[in-house]
Amino acid sequence: MSQLLNEIDANHAAFFKDWTAQATQNWKHLHANPIYQDSYRRLSALQALKAYLVAPHYSKGSAAFFLEAHNDALVSHVNASVGAWRAALQALRSSIENVLCSIYYNDHPVELELWEAGKFIIGFTDLIKYLEKHPRLTSIPENVSGLGFLKSEYALLSKAVHGSAVDFRMTDPVADVLLWSVDPIKASMWSTREKRTVEGISLLMASIHSQHLQGTKLTPLREILGLSISASKRTALRQSAGVNIRSP
């Protein structure tokens, strides 16, 4: 048995040396790609939403979900920076779930207490159904409120989580173990998913809290949201919710 353990431990040492070296090589290969700078600029919108909307207006327990959502998005960015595409996509899916939970539990303090006691849970479908009927969202089209984005992105990202789509696999017919890849096509795919996810979250938060963003209110937040919301959606948001997001 000791010989077997020694062999396993030696394999672990070799594996550790290999994967840490490969991670460094991958980062060096990928970091010059402009998608990472664009990504971090978008992620600054989540930080701003946390500071200007969540911290002042959410309960401590519900705010914790948004903090976790922001962390999930950063985890996705870091995983993508070394080419761990599937893990990066899984983190984006978790970010969506946590944002929806933060809104729901802020509106439902009793259910939050039950959740904290391990006596309540709500799934993605029911969260969406709740938000579809939310009084501050019913007058805003889904393609403007962010709900449309988040539903479609969640469905796509779920394929990565459950391994049900070939495009999201890390391994291929040549490699039965592949922790990461510097494939530029994979990088572009991740960037698209992250862009739409962050835009969906930004639109949803701006829509549901539009009363805090009217006129000249929270100018710094409205400026930063311009980094995550496209020009067409900024126009639509102004027309539907009266929120004027400045162009970057």
Q: Give the pLDDT score at 3.
A: 85
Q: Give the pLDDT score at 208.
A: 97
* Cα 74 from Cα 43, distance rounded (Å): 7
- For tokens 């950063």, the residue is 74
Using CB atoms within 10 Å of the CB of residue 44, give its burial: 0 to 12 exposed, 13 to 18 middle, 19+ buried. middle
Q: Give the pLDDT score at 179.
A: 52
Q: Give the pLDDT score at 178.
A: 52
* Cα 23 from Cα 45, distance rounded (Å): 28
Pick out the chain residues at pLDDT < 70.
Answer: 1, 19, 162-180
Q: Give the pLDDT score at 161.
A: 72
- For tokens 């479609």, the residue is 152
Q: Give the pLDDT score at 17.
A: 83
Instruction: Tell me the pLDDT tens digit for each residue of 39-66.
Output: 999 999 999 999 999 999 999 999 999 9
Q: Give the pLDDT score at 163.
A: 58
* Cα 98 from Cα 135, distance rounded (Å): 21
Kindly list the domain boundaries of the chain, sorted by start residue.
33-170+178-241
Look at phi and psi of residue 208 and say left if phi exceeds 0, alpha if psi is from -120 to 50, else beta: alpha
- For tokens 């971090």, the residue is 40
Q: Which two tokens stand for residue 184?
A: 């530029």
Of the candidates 91, 101, 93, 119, the residue with the CA atom closest to the CA atom of residue 58: 101
Q: Give the pLDDT score at 177.
A: 41
Q: Give the pLDDT score at 220.
A: 95
**Quick check: 62 and 214 in contact, CB under 8 A?**
no
